[in-house]
Amino acid sequence: MPKDPMLLRARDTWQELASVPVSFGAPGDVYVVVSPDARICPRGWAGIVLLGGAAIVTAPTEAAADRIRKAVAEVPADKLTDLETVRGVLTVGDVLGPATLAYVAPDGFLPAELAGLCVEQWSDGYGSLGGLVEAAGANDADEAGLDEISSPAFGVRMEGQVVAAAGYGHWPRLGPSRTAHMMVLTAPAWRGKGLARVTASAAVRHALEQGLLPQWRARTPASRKTASALGFTELGSQLSIELV
């Protein structure tokens, strides 16, 4: 069993989101379970989560689970979220990911500030961010997922407009929440200026003060760089696939 408390907490969250009894094993282990109600992927899809070198996979049906077990039997666990590898052993339609999964503990958090910049906090969360969402565009807004935040929103204004914001959603949504899933968005014209790092820093601090484990799911190098600057450690990755 891993001794890293942060890894154990991260695994606990994803095991609960699998919606059926399943546990991460030792590094290299892969467990495939049937879970039509899994919350780690869209309904009807298969979800793959790799943490600490071990993987759990949820399948929507027994037939799908059998296909996956046969396909991944010769695939190393640490390659299961590599899309090219997965496409080599399974016929896949749409995909979500892959994305890295990174976490930070209180003693590893690296707060970020910019001189003269005020980060505001809004209790109505997403309700304060309409202008930013419009400026960012539908694709970037969907990727950021700010419409799912359940925390306050933290943002900065430039020229009277909200140009960057962050918050988090409580995971799991049902039952006691242990994880704060971080969400960050910056208007295109204001990217590359450190605003994502500063607003995310405020949201991470708030999550840690609530006793939650901040989780950063990143698909782009820029997002991974921001997480790293705040002290996040990458512990694994995630991939959701539609079998065809």
Tokens of 36: 């039509």
**Distance between first and last Cα of the chain:** 35
Q: How far apart are CA 181 and CA 204, in angstroms?
A: 10
The mean-pLDDT minimum among 51-60, 181-190, 231-240 falls in: 181-190
Strand partners, 164: 156, 186
In which band, very low, low, confident or very high, does the pLDDT at 1 lie, cut at 50, 70 and 90?
very low
In sign, the C-alpha dihedral spanning 26, 28, 29, 33 is positive
**Mean pLDDT in residue range 155-181:** 84
Q: Given the structure tokens 């949504």, which residue do they identify?
A: 173
**What are phi and psi for residue 101, nearest 5 degrees?**
-120, 115
86 contacts: CB under 8 Å, gap ≥ 6? 48, 75, 80, 92, 239, 241
pLDDT tens digits, one per residue of 124-136: 766 667 678 777 7
pLDDT band at 20 (very low <50, low <70, confident <90, very high): very high
- Is pLDDT of 2 > 60? no
Distance CA 48, CA 33 (A): 11
The sign of the torsion formed by the CA atoms of 32, 35, 40, 46 equals: positive
Q: Is the pLDDT of residue 25 over 70?
A: yes
Per residue in 181-233, pLDDT tens? 999 999 888 888 899 999 999 999 999 999 999 999 999 898 999 999 999 99
Both structure tokens of 166: 């962050």
Kindly report the pTM of this predicted structure.
0.92
Using the 8-state DSSP alphabet, how is residue 211 labeled?
T
Q: Which residues pair with 159 in a beta bridge?
A: none
In this prediction, residue 142 has a pLDDT band, given cuts at 50, 70 and 90, of: confident
Handedness of CA 190, 191, 194, 196 (dihedral sign): positive
pLDDT digits (tens, 9 = 90+) for 70-121: 999 989 999 999 999 999 999 999 999 999 999 999 999 999 988 888 898 9
Token digits of residue 107: 């003693």
What are the structural domains of the chain? 5-99+239-243 (no CATH), 106-235 (3.40.630.30)
Task: Determine the Cα–Cα distance for residues 187 and 41; give it in Å rounded to an integer.
Answer: 28
